[in-house]
Amino acid sequence: MQGVFLKNEIWSLSLLPEWGGRIGSLRTGGLDLFAPVDVESFDPLAWPRAGAYPLMPYCNRLRNASLSFGAAQYDLPAHPTALPHTLHGVSHTQRWQVEEADASHVVLVCEYRGEHWPWPIRCEQHFRLEGDALVIELRLINQGESLMPGGIGLHPYFQRNEGLKARFTVGKSWPITPDYLALPEPNQVLNAITIDAAASEEHAHYLSEWDGNLWLDYPEGQLRMHASEPLSHFVAFAPAGTSYLCLEPVSHLADAFNRDASQWPAVGTQLVAPGECLAATITFTWQARPAGGV
């Protein structure tokens, strides 16, 4: 695999453009924040549970691999590990190109026209190192001639480092079916949630009305992930016995596009006109603990 690298006094970031535009690793000092990608080959349908990848033109699943939009019904290819549904859009299965690169900035681009999405699209990822901050901008551009639904997000695999605790605050939780779809209505109002990486219980949450802030506390320091609008939804998936935590800022609920239009504001469905761009920024900021500090 041929990688692209950004590095400063705080961050060491590797990117794998040809492997679905993935982040291969993210380190600060000697600490791996994401589980590093360490495989020798890439299967776009059985990807490594490591690094991080973009979610475009939608997040999570479309029920029965079908999209109903306007007066049209579109049948899409189902994903073999999520049958009979689709999974995570298509951009993470494609080869991305490096459009720009310098010592502190990389732009990756993927243009897609094919059976997995009814509209031609352009996907972009902009990576910038700004001192103690890593800034990632996601852009989804409708290159078609008609209005389309759209969604964006990031799917990181945070490594379960010793002593790690993740904290975030949300408004609503949506019940999840056995095949990882959301039930019609949220079932409770939540507040602060903490996930202890050392705990054995499994977490699977579809959440909305998120304030955009994820705090990860390590013995070595604190990582803050801040997601801008429209990333008002959040997925927390931490299977028991794994080496990772999936803590995903996303713009919409699973299968949001197939909901009635009256529900779109609540479930996060966005509309992207021809030539328009749906964009969001995700910023990671690291603060190391003072030597000998608590």
| Cβ-based neighbours of 262, under 8 Å, separated by 6 or more | none
Question: What integer pLDDT is reported at residue 200 of this predicted model?
Answer: 77
Which ranges of the chain would DSSP assign to H, the alpha helix?
Answer: 264-267
Q: Can you name the residues that pair with 215 across neighbouring β-strands?
A: 167, 224
For the ranges 24-33, 216-225, 265-274, 285-294, the lowest mean pLDDT is seen at 285-294
Q: What is the spatial distance between Cα 21 and Cα 52, in angstroms, rounded to a whole number?
A: 9
Q: Can you name the residues that pair with 12 across neighbouring β-strands?
A: 7, 27
> What is the CATH code of the structural domain delimited by 4-160+248-288?
2.70.98.10
pLDDT tens digits along 80-122: 999 999 999 999 999 999 999 999 999 999 999 999 999 999 9
Residue 188 pLDDT exceeds 90:
no
Question: What integer pLDDT is reported at residue 292 of this predicted model?
Answer: 61
Q: Can you name the residues that pair with 112 across neighbouring β-strands?
A: 121
Cβ atoms 168, 210 nearer than 8 A: yes
Q: Where are the domains of the chain?
A: 4-160+248-288
Instruction: Judge residue 90's burial from the number of C-beta atoms within 10 Å of its C-beta, 0-12 exposed, 13-18 middle, 19 or more buried.
Output: buried
Question: What integer pLDDT is reported at residue 168 of this predicted model?
Answer: 96
